[in-house]
A and B are shown apart, each in its own frame.
Chain A
Amino acid sequence: MDLSDVVATAMFTGVVLYGLFGGADFGSGFWDLTAGGARRGGRLRVLIDHSIGPVWEANHVWLIYILVFLWTAYPSAFAAIMTTLFIPMSLALLGIVLRGADFAFRKYSATIAQARLFGALFAGASLITPFFFGTVVGAIASGRVPAAGYGDLVESWVNPTSFIGGILAVGTCSFLAGVFLTADAARSGDPALAEYLRPRTLAVGVVTGALAIAAIAPIRRDAPTLGDGLLGRALPLIVVSAAAGVITLVLVYRRRFGWARVSALVAVAAIVIGWAVAQTPWILVDEMLIADAAGARSTLIALLVVVAVAAVTVLPALGYLFWLTQTDEWARDETARTG
């Protein structure tokens, strides 16, 4: 394995983790948006505040990690992506800004009218971001980002593969969030809320799964390199993803919500890794190889130092945060809290 591949693996680990944890945060926007009026949806919205409140900022930093690794290790690929996909990147960014700010504003707003406005912005924006990041993935994977940059500003992301990417990203995030929120609702002693979420999560899962299967044919036509990879080298991962998806549905159906979270994470991780395996060795499909995009060797080595430092500082801290959120003290009702 070449040094540039090692760094690419480290970077892509960030993509997977952002897809899982950032994705679950974004997906909660779908549930917030469809929760109904202020009275009916109140309990679900409080659950969402409670579930993603302590973790969303940390989960969000994976995006920074990915960007920094991309521009430091593969500067020319970064410039090519940013100049070509200016529009979807800007719109994803718009979603990030509105989502983060309005999530905080809503929680502390004084009146229900304010909360409604901030909440609608938070929930809507949460779906914009995964959609446009999905179109970015589609653009890169279908070979629409030229190595020299400044590709077609519109056609690069307005195409079948990009739209499939966007829709699947929204569906996957919503499914992940549904599984997590159902588990949190059950754990915090609110079976009624869990029963509200359970059939809806199943429906979102079935629809997303069906779309993923239906997407194979158009992807093979529109993005042959990716299609060949997905049905070739990456096929085992696609099978794992599909199996884990089915297992998740079964577990949610049988109300084994805790374990459903694990299989849901496996399903999403497998499909994201599958994309990476399918497009290897390209960093920009059909345009630029990972090895050719790599910057100076000394910088790649320095980045591995960063990864090592992250492994001993960030990961234990992150583990502590996630562990805390799973303890009984933290599962307590929001109102029992002071501050």
Chain B
Amino acid sequence: MVFSAFAELYLASGEGPPGLLPARQQMAFSLGWHIVLACFGVAFPAMIYVVHRRGIVRDDPVALGLAKRWATVSAILFAIGAVSGTVLSLEMGLLWPGLMGRYGDVLGLPFAFEGLSFFIEAIFLGIYLYGWGRMPPRRHLAMLVPMAVAGVVGTFCVVSVNAWMNNPTGFRLVDGEVTDVDPWRAMFNDGAFLQFAHMWVGAFMVVGFVVSGVYAAGLLRGRRDEHHRLGFTVPFVFATVAAIAQPLIGHVLGMRVHDTQPSKLAAFELATHTEGPAPLRMGGLLVDGEVVGALEIPRLGSIIARNSLTAPIPGLDTVPPADRPPVNITHLAFQTMVGIGTLLALLVVVFWLARWLRHDPLANRWFLRVAVVAGPLAVLALECGWIATEVGRQPWTVWRVLRTADAASTSTGLWWSYTGVLLVYLGMTVGAIVVLRSMTRRWRAGAKSIASPYGPGAGPVDEAQRAVGERG
């Protein structure tokens, strides 16, 4: 994030309206923050469902305990996810009036359906969180199902809007006027399903690796109980399926980029001029129009991006200079995403291979260390993937239809709101970490439930547990 901020600062200085740069930065920052929590909203209910169901069906207190803890954690994560999602809704108008005023009725429909799925998710979250001990267990468990379904629909809808920005359709421009609007066609644009699949599977990778990483850390510290083994395994199984599916989805999506957004592909591949067969350039930067420091593997670029030994990859020379995206950010972000995705796929293969060969990977400290790092790596891959597709689309907000400079607000005070967002989100991050850490401390000290420290609810039992937690 920091890197992209500085690089964009450099690239965007001195062009466009005064709101352009702070609008971009504020959107990038608030979306980059929210996207991690959105992943939890999408993928976490499914994982909670698995352990909660196991707890009920097999009468397994360990699994039920995990479900309760994960539910409590999700109360925090979903709350800050809900408010940071609201920030994005308002930012659509505050930062991008040029986009919304002109194309609001073209792209708005999936947002409306997304609103409905957010509704469903919020309603059943409320029921689920407060339903412990207040509902028949099976019905209580069933409350997770609408949440998981809403996660799928919501992801599709939000990603559909982004896919529309990459593949604008469902309208015609006649003498600069938007006519023949077909919101359904815009919603189900050609890129929507693939982009959705990529994001949805990515969400399971992020949550799967982050949550299993937390329990891998506990195992590393010698907490080798069933609680930690199950807490590791369930999310890791989800992450396994996702990590193996993701390279395939990514590959198909990548081949689409050649057909629909050649300049983005050129930036991904650091291709200054069209060549075929094209090499794969690992790492490297574009300095004064020359590629520096890249490791070139012949033909691999064509194979990966085009499914061919010889097919050419279009170069930046086919794109007018004014229409070229910031190449270095796009290239590095893209390759970081692909690199991490490949490593994570390898990691899960190694894990299950070891299990198959009757080794216990959870007894191997090196494996556990890697599993801990896999969580942050998956988040980094998510951020990089998002940066790659967004920055790679520049200078367009809507591909070849609306320039970002024309979409941004022309207000002058946007640096203030950007600074405010930075400060508030910093505080929110610190608050979430403080509270989540204190919760795990209390759980480790043996607290069965987390009660608030005020009011009659702070009963003597919990006070005692808290006192133990403070010392431990």
Residues of A that sit less than 8 Å from B by CB:
38, 41-46, 49, 53-58, 60-61, 63-65, 67-69, 71-76, 78-83, 86-87, 89-90, 93-94, 96-112, 114-115, 118-119, 149-150, 153, 295-296, 298-299, 302-303, 306, 309-310, 313-314, 317-318, 320-321, 324-325, 329-330, 332-339
The verdict on B459 contacting chain A, using a C-beta distance below 8 Å, is yes
Q: Which one of A44, A101, A105, A296 has the highest number of Cβ atoms from chain B below 10 Å of its Cβ? A: A101
With A101-B79, A336-B133, A339-B72 as contacts: A72 and B454 at CB distance below 8 Å: no
Give the interface SS of chain A, mostly helix, strand, loop or mixed: helix
Q: Which one of B124, B184, B454, B469 has the highest number of Cβ atoms from chain A below 10 Å of its Cβ? A: B454
Checking A93, A313, A314, A338 against B86 with a beta-carbon cut-off of 8 angstroms, the contacting residue is A93
The verdict on B220 contacting chain A, using a C-beta distance below 8 Å, is no
The verdict on B442 contacting chain A, using a C-beta distance below 8 Å, is yes
A-B contact count (CB 8 A): 293
User: Would you give 9 A-B contacts (Cβ < 8 Å), ordered by A?
Assistant: A57-B82, A72-B111, A82-B97, A83-B93, A98-B424, A110-B466, A306-B109, A338-B132, A339-B71
Q: Which of B103-140 contact A (CB under 8 A)?
A: 103-106, 108-109, 111-116, 118-120, 122-127, 129-135
Contact assessment for B119 and A310 in the assembled complex, using a CB-CB cutoff below 8 Å: yes
With A90-B420, A298-B181 as contacts: A71 and B93 at CB distance below 8 Å: yes
The verdict on B83 contacting chain A, using a C-beta distance below 8 Å, is yes
Query: When chains A and B are docked, how far (Å) is the Cα of A68 from the Cα of B469?
Result: 45
Q: How far is the CB of A245 from chain B (nearest CB, A)?
A: 29
Checking B80, B178, B454 against A42 with a beta-carbon cut-off of 8 angstroms, the contacting residue is B454
Contact assessment for B424 and A94 in the assembled complex, using a CB-CB cutoff below 8 Å: yes
The verdict on B342 contacting chain A, using a C-beta distance below 8 Å, is no
Q: How far is the CB of A238 from chain B (nearest CB, A)?
A: 30
Query: When chains A and B are docked, how far (Å) is the Cα of A109 from the Cα of B133?
Result: 22
Contact assessment for A314 and B129 in the assembled complex, using a CB-CB cutoff below 8 Å: no
Q: Which residues of B contact A75 (CB under 8 A)?
A: 100-105, 108
Contact assessment for A324 and B127 in the assembled complex, using a CB-CB cutoff below 8 Å: yes
Q: How far is the CB of A2 from chain B (nearest CB, A)?
A: 16
Contact assessment for B76 and A317 in the assembled complex, using a CB-CB cutoff below 8 Å: no
Q: Which residues of B contact A72 (CB under 8 A)?
A: 104-105, 108-109, 111-112, 183
Q: How far is the CB of A122 from chain B (nearest CB, A)?
A: 11
By beta carbon, the residue of chain B nearest A330 is: B134
Contact assessment for B92 and A71 in the assembled complex, using a CB-CB cutoff below 8 Å: yes
Checking A45, A49, A87, A97 against B424 with a beta-carbon cut-off of 8 angstroms, the contacting residue is A97
Q: Which residues of B contact A42 (CB under 8 A)?
A: 454-458
Contact assessment for B93 and A107 in the assembled complex, using a CB-CB cutoff below 8 Å: no
With A58-B119, A67-B89, A89-B94 as contacts: A108 and B76 at CB distance below 8 Å: yes
Contact assessment for B72 and A108 in the assembled complex, using a CB-CB cutoff below 8 Å: yes
Contact assessment for A317 and B104 in the assembled complex, using a CB-CB cutoff below 8 Å: no
Contact assessment for A60 and B86 in the assembled complex, using a CB-CB cutoff below 8 Å: yes
Q: How far is the CB of A13 from chain B (nearest CB, A)?
A: 14
Q: How far is the CB of B36 from chain A (nearest CB, A)?
A: 15
Q: Which residues of A contact B424 (CB under 8 A)?
A: 94, 97-98
Give the interface SS of chain B, mostly helix, strand, loop or mixed: helix
Query: When chains A and B are docked, how far (Å) is the Cα of A80 from the Cα of B449?
Result: 49
Contact assessment for B183 and A298 in the assembled complex, using a CB-CB cutoff below 8 Å: yes
With A60-B82, A101-B431, A112-B454 as contacts: A295 and B72 at CB distance below 8 Å: no
Query: When chains A and B are docked, how far (Å) is the Cα of A119 from the Cα of B413?
Result: 30
Contact assessment for A60 and B122 in the assembled complex, using a CB-CB cutoff below 8 Å: yes
Closest 9 CB pairs of A and B: A72-B108, A295-B105, A75-B104, A79-B101, A82-B93, A42-B455, A296-B181, A339-B132, A104-B79
Contact assessment for A78 and B93 in the assembled complex, using a CB-CB cutoff below 8 Å: yes
By beta carbon, the residue of chain A nearest B111 is: A68
By beta carbon, the residue of chain A nearest B94 is: A82
Contact assessment for A115 and B454 in the assembled complex, using a CB-CB cutoff below 8 Å: yes
Contact assessment for A335 and B428 in the assembled complex, using a CB-CB cutoff below 8 Å: no
With A46-B452, A60-B122, A101-B80 as contacts: A330 and B130 at CB distance below 8 Å: yes
Q: Which residues of B contact A101 (CB under 8 A)?
A: 79-80, 83, 428, 431-432
Contact assessment for A299 and B97 in the assembled complex, using a CB-CB cutoff below 8 Å: no
Q: How far is the CB of B22 from chain A (nearest CB, A)?
A: 12
Q: Which residues of B contact A45 (CB under 8 A)?
A: 452, 454-455
Q: How far is the CB of B106 from chain A (nearest CB, A)?
A: 7
Q: Which residues of B contact A94 (CB under 8 A)?
A: 420, 424
Query: When chains A and B are docked, how far (Å) is the Cα of A78 from the Cα of B108?
Result: 12
Query: 1/0 per residue B428-463: CB within 8 Å of A?
Result: 100110110011011000001111111111110010
Q: Which residues of B contact A80 (CB under 8 A)?
A: 101
Contact assessment for A61 and B428 in the assembled complex, using a CB-CB cutoff below 8 Å: no
Checking B93, B100, B115 against A65 with a beta-carbon cut-off of 8 angstroms, the contacting residue is B115
Query: When chains A and B are docked, how far (Å) is the Cα of A76 from the Cα of B100?
Result: 8
Q: Which residues of A contact B86 (CB under 8 A)?
A: 60, 63-64, 93, 96-97, 100
Contact assessment for A303 and B123 in the assembled complex, using a CB-CB cutoff below 8 Å: no
With A68-B89, A104-B75, A299-B106 as contacts: A111 and B453 at CB distance below 8 Å: yes
Q: Which residues of A contact B79 (CB under 8 A)?
A: 57, 100-101, 103-104
Contact assessment for B118 and A61 in the assembled complex, using a CB-CB cutoff below 8 Å: yes
Contact assessment for B115 and A61 in the assembled complex, using a CB-CB cutoff below 8 Å: yes
Contact assessment for B441 and A110 in the assembled complex, using a CB-CB cutoff below 8 Å: yes
By beta carbon, the residue of chain A nearest B184 is: A302
Contact assessment for A153 and B102 in the assembled complex, using a CB-CB cutoff below 8 Å: no
The verdict on B357 contacting chain A, using a C-beta distance below 8 Å, is no
Contact assessment for B113 and A108 in the assembled complex, using a CB-CB cutoff below 8 Å: no
Contact assessment for B87 and A93 in the assembled complex, using a CB-CB cutoff below 8 Å: yes
Contact assessment for A314 and B108 in the assembled complex, using a CB-CB cutoff below 8 Å: no
Query: When chains A and B are docked, how far (Å) is the Cα of A75 from the Cα of B409?
Result: 15
If A108-B435, A334-B452 are given as contacts, then 19 extra A-B residue pairs at C-beta distance below 8 Å, sorted by A number, are: A44-B455, A46-B455, A58-B119, A60-B122, A63-B86, A65-B119, A68-B108, A73-B108, A75-B104, A82-B90, A82-B100, A83-B97, A89-B93, A105-B435, A110-B466, A115-B453, A303-B108, A306-B116, A324-B134
Checking A79, A114, A320, A335 against B451 with a beta-carbon cut-off of 8 angstroms, the contacting residue is A335
With A68-B112, A110-B469, A150-B411 as contacts: A296 and B133 at CB distance below 8 Å: no
Contact assessment for A100 and B68 in the assembled complex, using a CB-CB cutoff below 8 Å: no
Contact assessment for B105 and A338 in the assembled complex, using a CB-CB cutoff below 8 Å: no
Query: When chains A and B are docked, how far (Å) is the Cα of A338 from the Cα of B67?
Result: 12
Q: Which residues of A contact B130 (CB under 8 A)?
A: 53-54, 325, 330, 337
Query: When chains A and B are docked, how far (Å) is the Cα of A96 from the Cα of B450?
Result: 25
Contact assessment for A58 and B122 in the assembled complex, using a CB-CB cutoff below 8 Å: yes
Q: How far is the CB of A195 from chain B (nearest CB, A)?
A: 17
Contact assessment for A153 and B453 in the assembled complex, using a CB-CB cutoff below 8 Å: no
Q: How far is the CB of B462 from chain A (nearest CB, A)?
A: 8
Contact assessment for A314 and B119 in the assembled complex, using a CB-CB cutoff below 8 Å: yes
Q: How far is the CB of A151 from chain B (nearest CB, A)?
A: 11
Q: Which residues of A contact B466 (CB under 8 A)?
A: 110
Q: How far is the CB of B52 from chain A (nearest CB, A)?
A: 11
By beta carbon, the residue of chain A nearest B126 is: A54
Checking B104, B129, B450 against A54 with a beta-carbon cut-off of 8 angstroms, the contacting residue is B129
Query: When chains A and B are docked, how far (Å) is the Cα of A74 from the Cα of B101?
Result: 8
Q: How far is the CB of A28 from chain B (nearest CB, A)?
A: 14
Q: How far is the CB of B469 from chain A (nearest CB, A)?
A: 7
Q: Which residues of B contact A105 (CB under 8 A)?
A: 76, 431-432, 434-435
Q: Which residues of B contact A303 (CB under 8 A)?
A: 108-109, 112
Query: When chains A and B are docked, how far (Å) is the Cα of A332 from the Cα of B132?
Result: 12
Query: When chains A and B are docked, how far (Å) is the Cα of A150 from the Cα of B411?
Result: 8
Query: When chains A and B are docked, how far (Å) is the Cα of A150 from the Cα of B454?
Result: 46
Query: When chains A and B are docked, how far (Å) is the Cα of A115 from the Cα of B431?
Result: 11
Contact assessment for A78 and B100 in the assembled complex, using a CB-CB cutoff below 8 Å: yes
